[in-house]
A and B are shown apart, each in its own frame.
Chain A
Amino acid sequence: MLGYTITQWLFGILSFLAIMFGLMVVFSRNPVNSVLYLVLTFFCIAGHYLIMNAQFLAIVHIVVYAGAIMVLFLFIIMLMNLNEDSEPQKTWLTKIIAAVAGGMMLFVLVGSLKGSEQLGLSVNGSSQIGLVKNLGIVLFKDFLFPFEIASILLLAALVGVILLGRKDPQVLDKKL
């Protein structure tokens, strides 16, 4: 259709959406809006994963990021009662400098691609590696140890968060 395959169309649309929502995340005043736009960005990226047949990762991406992390962000924003009025702004100069710096970085990154060929490496493995079963086999056979360590990491984070979130009795008294 129109000289492009459907995959390419999908890629283009998803990319466009992802970039647009990403920009909205950065430039929107209301932090709640930023959160929501970020969620949408995550969905677009999950779409990208699906194009590449990384099914497991797409599902995990949505569940973990859009489902858990973003909810957490939203929760904290609501807790702090942030809205458009209380939003601090940086000086114009800083914003321009930031944009310029970012632009230069992009220029450099893109420029590094210059002259590189379209990689036409032979695909050694199958395209089925994204399936849950296959990924699971690799994860539990070759990467069992990091897997266990990751669970310990999550445990540590859990304990840390609980400790950090504890209210000091003194603070409580002061507030009251």
Chain B
Amino acid sequence: MIKLVGLIPLFPLIGFLINGFFGKKLSKSLSGLIACAAILASFIVSVGIFMEARHLPEHSQIVNLFSWINAGTLDIPFEFVVDPLSTWFLLIITGIGFLIHVYSTSYMHDDEGFSRFFTYLNLFVFFMLLLVLGNNFLIMFVGWEGVGLCSYLLIGFWFKNTDYNNAARKAFVMNRIGDLGFLLGILLIFVTFGSISYDEVFSKAGTAEHGTITAIALLLFIGAMGKSAQIPLYTWLPDAMAGPTPVSALIHAATMVTAGIYMIVRSNVFYSISETASAVVAVVGVATALFAATIGLFQNDIKKILAYSTVSQLGLMFLGLGVGAYSSSVFHVTTHAFFKALLFLGAGSVIHAMGGEQDVRKMGGLKKALPITFMTMLLGTIAISGVPGFSGFFSKDEILAHTYEHSPILWFFGMLTSMLTAFYMFRLMFLTFWGSFRGTKEQHHHLHESPKAMTFPLIVLAILSVAGGVLGLPHFWGFHNFIGDHLEPLILRKNPSTLPHDTEWMLMGIASLAALAVIYVAYIIYRKRHIIPLNENDKMPALQKTIYHKYYVDEIYDAVIRKPVDVISHVFYKFVDKQIIDGLVEGVGTSVKGIGSVVRLAQQGDISFYIITMMLGVIGILLFTFLL
């Protein structure tokens, strides 16, 4: 079965090709069916491979598909690696991908670009699978770039709107900046170790110079910064909400943005060796988490709230990576995928019911009209807030415990972030589902629960959000930590937790109490006092205004980076392109004409002149041949 791993990316690729070439001719239901069936097939094969891979003796097997690059001494085969990490991510990608595909068949039902949507979605899943399955950094990079491309295509899906196109372009360009760092990291790896296959590189990691390892780790992290929206390359993620909601759910919550985390977990040996790099990762992670959480407090667009929440949670995951809690971060990736996808799909359901309205200030009291959506979103929100017993609680707690062990200050900021997360998530819930309806009369008329194709994935994800905690139950409760044990072979430098059990209980208690307290505060503010967020034109306190405008980060980027680039490009256009390059090209033509007009004078048309010249030539030849 493991040898069939090549099929897993193949099914989405076939789906992409069929929908890409014949999509217009197929009926909508057939098109959607093909796409969903492809992902389902991949999921089934993934499950099979996952089961089998757990019993592998060395915990990993490499499946060679074909010899890819073979030039001189450079030999890069196209290999897939089947090991705990890749199989785990396979399940997440194909499983949640399938649910989102099913959801999309209903959500995008009225859209005329239906088959194009599924083409892009399948292509995205294909590249994401390549990313996690590859056995060397180059295949990962191919998948990395590919998902960036699909992200661009999908964010700008409704391409007739210029703002959406700009958002797509912004995402792509920021990604590329990160990719430059990533590529430099790969090149440095190749130069240092002479290979880019995981097994060869990681086994030799100990032999390289410490400074080089730090450089490699930091360069790779720059790539992760771009792909997983960390400071300073995070501003594309909120703008990426311009894409259809299933896209936000799949790409910007569950899969693509987790590629950075996958990459770091895969290369964990570098980060274990280099403490500097790990420290950078942790600090950037927690800073992003806190920063994004504060912005999320004042956002009014339902999808933007979720977007900033994603950035914040990703920051927490990087915090976990930075302190060496690799399996905890993967655990949080998993639970986050469950509840964030659920929340996004639920938001899509709400937007669908509201006829396209996304502003929470215009919603309210939807729990009667959208019962299933309400119930599932509530479960998701409880999970993300870290209420004990739900999945989010266990994963977040693990990260925070490891953080506390590493540095209490970082733990404090992480704790603060969790509290803010609970606050703004429940703010969203209260404003959307409770209270009286604040929208227009037609919207009220239009309210209806979503069709089964949309509610079914919501229900499944809700169940997973609630029960997902079993994957990583803590040791000190006496359980086996499934995911920790599962990923254990991958972590090359062990870093077991040495916290005494009392401290762990205390941390858990603090977290739970804080979460519940914050939820109560949110209840007070938004339910009891019925406070509704201000409109744009109303006066706001200065601090709130700054945070509402996202700390003016976009404007800063515009002034500091974009304007100089604009000036430089203008100079290049006016001067270099027009004068130098065009001058050169035209100069070639002009000079040929000039030389021609001079050489032409030799054509006298007078035959004796030709004969004299010929004679002289013959004399010259004979001279050289005979006499010299």
- A contact residues vs B (CB 8 Å cutoff): 90, 94, 97-98, 101-102, 104-105, 108-109, 111-112
Contact = CB atoms under 8 A, between A and B. Distances in A.
B626 A111 contact: yes
A98 B626 contact: no
A81 B183 CA distance: 89
Contacts of A101: 612, 615-616, 619
A111 to B, nearest CB: 6
B622 interface: yes
Given A111-B627, A112-B626, A112-B627, A98 B619 contact: no
B627 A108 contact: yes
Contacts of B626: 108, 111-112
A110 to B, nearest CB: 11
B608 A90 contact: yes
Interface of B: 608, 612, 615-616, 618-619, 622-623, 626-627
A15 B619 CA distance: 25
A26 to B, nearest CB: 13
24 contacts: A90-B608, A94-B612, A97-B612, A98-B608, A101-B612, A101-B615, A101-B616, A102-B615, A104-B616, A104-B619, A105-B615, A105-B618, A105-B619, A105-B622, A108-B619, A108-B623, A108-B626, A108-B627, A109-B622, A111-B626, A111-B627, A112-B622, A112-B626, A112-B627
Nearest to A111: B627
Nearest to A103: B619
Given A98-B608, A111-B627, 8 more contacts: A94-B608, A94-B612, A101-B619, A104-B619, A105-B619, A108-B619, A108-B627, A112-B626
Nearest to B612: A101
The listed residue with most B CB atoms (<10 A of its CB), out of A102, A105, A108, A112, is A108
Chain A residues touching B, majority SS = helix
B620 to A, nearest CB: 9
Nearest to B618: A105
Nearest to A105: B619
The 6 closest A-B pairs by CB, nearest first: A112-B626, A108-B622, A101-B615, A104-B619, A105-B619, A108-B619
B609 to A, nearest CB: 8
A101 to B, nearest CB: 5
Contacts of B619: 101, 104-105, 108
Nearest to B625: A112
Contacts of A97: 612
B89 to A, nearest CB: 85
A104 B612 CA distance: 12
Contacts of B612: 94, 97-98, 101
Contacts of B623: 108
A101 B608 CA distance: 12
A109 B626 CA distance: 9
A98 B308 CA distance: 93
A42 B318 CA distance: 107
Nearest to A102: B615
Contacts of A112: 622, 626-627
Contacts of B608: 90, 94, 98
A159 B616 CA distance: 37
A83 B618 CA distance: 34
A112 B612 CA distance: 21
B613 to A, nearest CB: 9
A97 B619 CA distance: 14
Contacts of A94: 608, 612
The listed residue with most A CB atoms (<10 A of its CB), out of B615, B619, B627, is B619
A123 to B, nearest CB: 27
A90 B608 CA distance: 10
Contacts of A105: 615, 618-619, 622
A155 to B, nearest CB: 29
B343 to A, nearest CB: 97
Nearest to B614: A101
B162 to A, nearest CB: 72
A90 B616 CA distance: 19
Contacts of A104: 616, 619
